[in-house]
Amino acid sequence: MEPQAIIAKRIALELRDGMLVNLGIGIPTQVANYVPAGLRVYFQSENGLIGTGAVPEEGMHHRLLTDAGGRPVTALPGACTFDSAMSFGLIRGGHLDMTVLGGLQVDQTGHLANWMIPGKMVPGMGGAMDLASGAKRVVIAMQHSAKGKSKVVKACNLPLTSARPIDLLVTELAVIAFPYGKATLMETAPGVTVQQVIAATEAELVVPQQVPQMAL
Q: What angle do CA 63, 60, 43 make, to 5 degrees?
A: 75
CA distances from 83 to 26, 135, 186 (A): 23, 19, 39
The active-site residue out of 2, 14, 46, 172 is 46
Q: What phi, psi does 168 have (nearest 5°)?
A: -150, 140
Q: In which element (H, E) is residue 64 found? A: none
For residue 202, indicate whether it is catalytic: no
Other CB atoms within 10 Å distance of the CB of residue 14: 17
Give residues with Cβ within 8 angstroms of 96, minimum separation 6. Answer: 20, 21, 22, 44, 90, 131, 134, 135, 136
By annotation, the residues acting in catalysis are: 46
